């Protein structure tokens, strides 16, 4: 309803997980308190890691985020959402360094300021910003930033990829369909865009994404680890 229009996607996903009727899939109290969105809203004071920030800046500067397909970005966002605050502590500090006014989002002006010393045109900066802004609302939310950073320069374990697949596969059909994406992303995403996301990964042309196809999305990426 209208009351949820101004609520971030990260917050909605957090509430959605808490309302899961399956106790196995629903986070317990400890896991809920470690949720990345909750930790971001009530952060502890920590110093920014210069090494991590430099690495993330370099990934974005080199436009490693550009060219990463939307499905991989969505998977990385889900992995970030399901990761503990401890796992994401360094990236949280980097996000805070971009978010100059501390309002929980990165505006275009803040993003541009972060690359003020780089020799990039306004069009290049806008292109990078748009690529990270997954839902196209002209602001980069915390989970969008985490997903882009993980997809561009993170290291993923196989079980994390499988967990992301299961999270999208809402009816446990062992395949991801357009309807599954609609449940995750909502009605704001055009159906044609969702179909394009599926087609980009669907190699056998059956209109759905199998676990094998989903994993192959990450297989060519040297950052994937077996354990």
142 shares its domain with 197? no
Interior angle at CA 62, CA 61 and CA 66, nearest 5: 100
Is the CB of residue 97 less than 8 Å from the CB of residue 48?
A: yes
CATH classification of the domain holding 170: 1.10.238.10
pLDDT at 192: 92
Q: How many domains does the chain have?
A: 2
Digit-by-digit pLDDT tens for the chain (227 residues) are 566 777 777 788 888 888 888 888 888 876 776 777 766 665 544 434 555 566 666 666 554 555 567 888 888 888 877 776 656 777 888 888 889 999 999 999 999 998 887 777 899 889 889 888 888 889 999 888 888 877 766 556 788 888 889 989 988 999 999 999 998 888 878 899 999 999 989 999 999 999 999 988 776 544 444 54
10 shares its domain with 118? yes
User: What is the distance between the alpha carbons of residues 10 and 173, in angstroms, rounded to a whole number?
Assistant: 25
For residue 95, what are the domain limits? 2-153
User: What is the distance between the alpha carbons of residues 108 and 177, in angstroms, rounded to a whole number?
Assistant: 33
Determine, yes or no, domain membership for 129: yes
How many residues in the chain? 227
pTM tops 0.85 = no
Is the CB of residue 88 less than 8 Å from the CB of residue 146?
A: yes
Residue 224 CA, chain-centre distance (Å), reads 16
């Amino acid at each position: 309803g209208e009351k949820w229009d101004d609520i971030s996607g990260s917050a909605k996903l957090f509430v959605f997980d808490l309302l899961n009727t399956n106790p196995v899939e629903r986070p317990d109290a400890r896991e809920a308190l470690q949720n990345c969105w909750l930790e971001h809203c009530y952060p502890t004071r920590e110093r920014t890691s210069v090494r991590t920030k430099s690495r993330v800046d370099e990934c974005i500067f080199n436009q490693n985020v550009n060219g990463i397909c939307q499905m991989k970005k969505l998977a990385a966002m889900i992995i970030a959402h399901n990761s503990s605050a401890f796992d994401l502590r360094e990236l949280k500090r980097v996000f805070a360094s971009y978010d100059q006014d501390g309002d929980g989002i990165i505006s275009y002006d803040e993003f541009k300021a972060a690359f003020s010393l780089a020799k990039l045109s306004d069009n290049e900066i806008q292109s990078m910003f748009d690529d990270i802004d997954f839902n196209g609302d002209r602001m980069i939310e915390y989970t969008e930033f985490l997903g882009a950073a993980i997809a561009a320069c993170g290291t993923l374990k196989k079980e994390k990829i499988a967990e992301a697949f299961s999270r999208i596969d809402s009816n446990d059909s062992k395949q991801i369909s357009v309807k599954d994406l609609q449940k995750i992303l909502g009605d704001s995403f055009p159906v044609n865009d969702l179909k394009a996301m599926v087609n980009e990964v669907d190699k056998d042309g059956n209109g759905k994404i199998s676990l094998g196809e989903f994993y192959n999305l990450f297989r060519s990426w040297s950052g994937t680890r077996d354990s």
